[in-house]
Amino acid sequence: MSSSPSVGRPLRPRGKLLQEDARRHHRALLLQELFRGGPASRADLARSTGLTRVTVSDLVAELASEGLLEDLGAPAETRVGKPPTLVGLVADATHIVAVDLSPADRMSGAILNLAGEVKARHEVPLAGAKGQDAVDLLHRLAAELIELTDRPILGVGVGSPGVVDAFGTVIDAPNLGWSEQPLADGLKQALNLPVYVANDANTAVLGEHTFGEGDTDGGLMLLRVGIGVGAGLVLGGALLHGHQAAAGEIGHVVVDPDGERCACGRVGCLETLLAVPRLRQAMAEDGDALRRVGEQLGAVLAPVVGTLNLHEVVLAGPAELLDGTLREAADATIRARTMPVSGDHLVVRTSTLGDDVVLAGAAVLVLAGELGVS
Amino acid sequence: MSSSPSVGRPLRPRGKLLQEDARRHHRALLLQELFRGGPASRADLARSTGLTRVTVSDLVAELASEGLLEDLGAPAETRVGKPPTLVGLVADATHIVAVDLSPADRMSGAILNLAGEVKARHEVPLAGAKGQDAVDLLHRLAAELIELTDRPILGVGVGSPGVVDAFGTVIDAPNLGWSEQPLADGLKQALNLPVYVANDANTAVLGEHTFGEGDTDGGLMLLRVGIGVGAGLVLGGALLHGHQAAAGEIGHVVVDPDGERCACGRVGCLETLLAVPRLRQAMAEDGDALRRVGEQLGAVLAPVVGTLNLHEVVLAGPAELLDGTLREAADATIRARTMPVSGDHLVVRTSTLGDDVVLAGAAVLVLAGELGVS
DNA sequence: GGGGATTAGTTAATCCGCTGAACTAACAAA
DNA sequence: TTTGTTAGTTCAGCGGATTAACTAATCCCC
């Protein structure tokens, strides 16, 4: 069972625990169980959650009346006793608006259902929009996305480049000309819907954690390789924010003090080696380049893997560059540079979600925040 | 306000939230408030916790009847309205047994009160005891420590070298000849008291987090430098365990692939440079050694600091070796190798708790587990 | 084929902890 | 003395879960 990454702002100002909160918690428990384990009977749910059958029945009735759950009748195989009636999540009970702001040239959005399936897509060219123009463009995209479904909307999730705090304010995103931009609050006002905004790499790691293939409960780091390099981490089932909301900013960590000068002013940042344009260029010039970059990447990751005792490191980006020599070299280097206890169970792999990691993660922001599911 | 690191095993099997749990949570809220903020009136507590005055009064009465709180009368300065009656934690209401198993030659223990003050000390020479003998020795030490106080015992906390899982089972501790040793369960049986066992570095970081000087809420890493090197991390207010309970195992991360061969078989592990005997030796041979080690340390830590966006890195060990050139070189190197957003707010310092970090942390294990305070 | 045995789900009474509203208590300012 | 303010308690009631006892529907087996 996967525990919910805690995303978004704390629910209550202090820490007071109302009965209402207990109710919400128990609702989330049931939804989570059905989300991960698929349809189950009320009795099953009572056993797996520890709640009594009475309470489960009550909650199921409530959730069913909201359309989130439906009775699915009795299961095929038959055992002793009264046959149970299975209940299951209605995947299309509500839809989620997800937006990925990380591409350099466009804002890309989609409608997803509760199972994380993409039901519709829509994107708008960025055309160099910055600052308020970019905000307006996002508002327009969100509104147009909402028009693409006739189902009620659970909420809006946005993965944005740059540093984003836990309240969905973009602290700093040079590419979009945003600084201290209260993106979540603005959208919430405009759309009258729950809105969650997080950094694109953080969003991506949530997507991978919830909808990816691996067993990502033991500590997961996702490295997004594109124009730049960013990472997101899920530790102990929770998204890591960091002191200044800047967790995962690994792109400008120095790998090679004798390397190339980086745009940021330092020398030998990870991005001078690992960014997609650099990789393509290097690969064209030298067949062995990917291996060397992989080794450098491994050298940066080894202290992180060892210190955090990570279970999975996932690379997200162009598979033809990442999934092969580079990944293998990184994997081998990490193992060579950490203790067996750190390296033995480590998995270094590429993401199975492709370009949709961020969209999937944006949906997870909403799922986790609104339903407590992930 | 500092949030409680979650230590020990989960309280309930599933995630069911009883009213009883709410009550415990609210008790903990009050205790936490008084623990961090010192004496306060019931009305103050109601304001700061969000609970109603009725509930606060009720909880305070309950806690007072247990002897944990006491009325302190009215404060000196006078304002309009009925003067409040302050209530405060009774620091010596119960005492805590803390044991540090990390020294190579002895088991060192202490009695601490709720304020983390050492009330008594006692230690026994290890004399090469291993396996069951070491377990027996620990049991004896714990029993003798209990005799040193006439106050009721809140619980027993132990910081052990090696890998320790969340249930207090020592997975592997070569020095003590332990493997899969259920230390917490054994002690619990023998003493009929709550017992918490954690890795020594993890324990230490909890001690620093709760009783240290710094503002350690933004992500804290503590590096323990002794015979070996180990680390502990508090992220988002919670102790990081890692996938195989091996978080913080940084001693055998390779720093210098061209370095010296390590006892572990690899080449250039951090421990080949940073361990205390090595440092003393290197310093005697070469006045610049500390600076070079500091730089190497900075190079290992930079990826970690950047990735986690840590706020504080604390060095614990002999101050004459760590606090000076080495610390400054590490600090400078980390800053040079990370983005400004990562380095600007970073604090690299030594621990103020000295040799008692682990004992203090062992007390925190108990405080957090039993009272929800830290 | 009818009576256990077994499992699923509901109904009813009750309990626990918190809440709001109203109360008393104790002070300062006017 | 009156008024206003703040602290703290009393009391009735509510929300949400629990236990116990019930009904319902199946298999098993004599």
Taking only the tens place, the pLDDT of each residue in A143-173 is 999 999 999 999 999 999 999 999 999 999 9
Residue A200 makes CB contacts below 8 A (sequence gap 6+) with A100, A101, A102, A159, A160, A161, A224, A230, A358
Q: Which residue of A has its CA nearest to B4?
A: A15
CB contact (8 A) between residue A15 and residue B29: yes
What's the whole-model pTM score? 0.91
Q: Is the pLDDT of residue A25 over 70?
A: yes
Which pLDDT score, from 0 to 100, does residue A135 have? 97
Which pLDDT score, from 0 to 100, does residue B4 have? 36
Domains and CATH numbers, chain B: 19-89 (1.10.10.10), 95-204+357-371 (3.30.420.40), 215-351 (3.30.420.40)
> A242 to chain B: which residues are within 8 Å by CB?
218-219, 308-310
Q: Is the pLDDT of residue B39 over 60?
A: yes
**CA of B39, C1' of C16: distance in angstroms:** 29
> B248: alpha, beta or left, given left = phi > 0 and alpha = psi -120 to 50?
left
Query: What would the mean pLDDT of A93-118 be, rounded to a whole number?
Result: 97
Q: How many CB pairs under 8 A join A and B?
A: 190
SS3 category, B35: helix
How does residue B13 score in pLDDT terms, banded at 50, 70 and 90?
very low
Task: From residues 71-90 of B, list those within 7 angstroms of strand D by Cβ.
Answer: 79-85
Which pLDDT score, from 0 to 100, does residue B86 have? 94
CB contact (8 A) between residue B307 and residue A247: yes
A41-99 residue pLDDT tens: 999 999 999 999 999 999 999 999 999 999 998 887 778 888 999 999 999 999 999 99
**CA of A80, C1' of D29: distance in angstroms:** 13
Query: What would the mean pLDDT of A112-136 be, rounded to a whole number?
Result: 96
**CA of B52, C1' of D14: distance in angstroms:** 16
Q: Which residue blocks in chain B are alpha helix, DSSP H?
A: 19-37, 42-49, 53-65, 131-147, 183-191, 200-211, 271-274, 276-285, 289-308, 319-322, 325-337, 340-343, 357-366
Nucleotides of D under 7 A from a protein CB: 4-11, 15-20, 24-28
Q: Which two tokens stand for residue B132?
A: 């069951």
CB contact (8 A) between residue B240 and residue A240: no
Query: What would the mean pLDDT of A182-204 be, rounded to a whole number?
Result: 97
CA of B45: nearest nucleotide by C1' is D7
Could you say which of A22, A240, A342 has the minimum Cβ distance to residue B236?
A240
Task: From residues 24-43 of A, list those within 7 angstroms of strand C by Cβ.
Answer: 41-43
Asked whether residue A302, judged by its CB, lies under 7 Å from any atom of the DNA or RNA strand D, the reply is no
CA–CA min distance A132, chain B (Å): 24
Running DSSP on this structure, what letter comes out for residue B267? B
Which pLDDT score, from 0 to 100, does residue A192 have? 96
- The phi and psi torsions of A224 (rounded to 5 degrees) equal -95, 120
For tokens 């390789």, the residue is A225
* CA A284 – CA A280 distance, rounded (Å): 6
Q: Is the pLDDT of residue A3 over 50?
A: no
A68-82 residue pLDDT tens: 999 998 887 778 888
How does residue A195 score in pLDDT terms, banded at 50, 70 and 90?
very high
- The phi and psi torsions of B355 (rounded to 5 degrees) equal -70, -10
Residue B233 makes CB contacts below 8 A (sequence gap 6+) with A307, A308, B205, B219, B220, B221, B222, B239, B240, B247, B248, B308
- The phi and psi torsions of A308 (rounded to 5 degrees) equal -95, -10
* CA B371 – CA B300 distance, rounded (Å): 37
Q: Which residue of B has its CA nearest to A45?
A: B14
Which pLDDT score, from 0 to 100, does residue B216 have? 74
Asked whether residue B51, judged by its CB, lies under 7 Å from any atom of the DNA or RNA strand C, the reply is yes
> B311 to chain A: which residues are within 8 Å by CB?
243
Which pLDDT score, from 0 to 100, does residue B14 have? 56
CA–CA min distance B310, chain A (Å): 6
Query: What would the mean pLDDT of A219-226 be, rounded to a whole number?
Result: 95
CB contact (8 A) between residue A339 and residue B246: yes
Which one of B307, B334, B348, B374 makes the best mutation probe of the A interface by having the most chain A beta carbons within 10 Å? B307
How does residue B166 score in pLDDT terms, banded at 50, 70 and 90?
very high
> B306 to chain A: which residues are within 8 Å by CB?
249-250, 252-253
Which pLDDT score, from 0 to 100, does residue A14 have? 55
How far does Cα A14 stand from its chain's mean position? 27
Query: What would the mean pLDDT of B155-161 be, rounded to a whole number?
Result: 97
Q: Is the pLDDT of residue A4 over 70?
A: no
CB contact (8 A) between residue B302 and residue A254: yes
A282-320 residue pLDDT tens: 888 887 999 999 999 999 999 999 999 999 999 999 999
CB contact (8 A) between residue B15 and residue A238: no
CB contact (8 A) between residue A50 and residue B240: no
**Nearest 5°: CA angle at A240, between A298 and B219?**
90
CB contact (8 A) between residue A235 and residue B235: yes
Query: What would the mean pLDDT of B240-248 be, rounded to a whole number?
Result: 94
**CA of B41, C1' of D6: distance in angstroms:** 12
Q: What's chain A's average pLDDT?
A: 92
SS3 category, B225: strand
Query: What would the mean pLDDT of B341-357 be, rounded to a whole number?
Result: 93
Which pLDDT score, from 0 to 100, does residue B253 have? 95
Q: What's chain B's average pLDDT?
A: 92
Residue percentage of chain B with pLDDT more than 90: 82
CA–CA min distance B177, chain A (Å): 18
SS3 category, A113: strand
B44-103 residue pLDDT tens: 999 999 999 999 999 999 999 999 999 998 887 777 888 899 999 999 999 999 999 999
Query: What would the mean pLDDT of B156-181 be, rounded to a whole number?
Result: 95
> A264 to chain B: which residues are within 8 Å by CB?
339
Which pLDDT score, from 0 to 100, does residue A81 have? 84
Which residue's C-alpha is at the least distance from the C1' of D15?
A19
CA of A74: nearest nucleotide by C1' is C8
Asked whether residue A79, judged by its CB, lies under 7 Å from any atom of the DNA or RNA strand C, the reply is yes
> B240 to chain A: which residues are within 8 Å by CB?
235-236, 308
Query: What would the mean pLDDT of A211-228 be, rounded to a whole number?
Result: 90
Q: Which two tokens stand for residue A208?
A: 């991978």
CB contact (8 A) between residue B301 and residue A300: no
A242-268 residue pLDDT tens: 999 999 999 999 999 898 999 888 999
Which pLDDT score, from 0 to 100, does residue A68 have? 96
Q: Is the pLDDT of residue A374 over 80?
A: yes
CA of B18: nearest nucleotide by C1' is D17
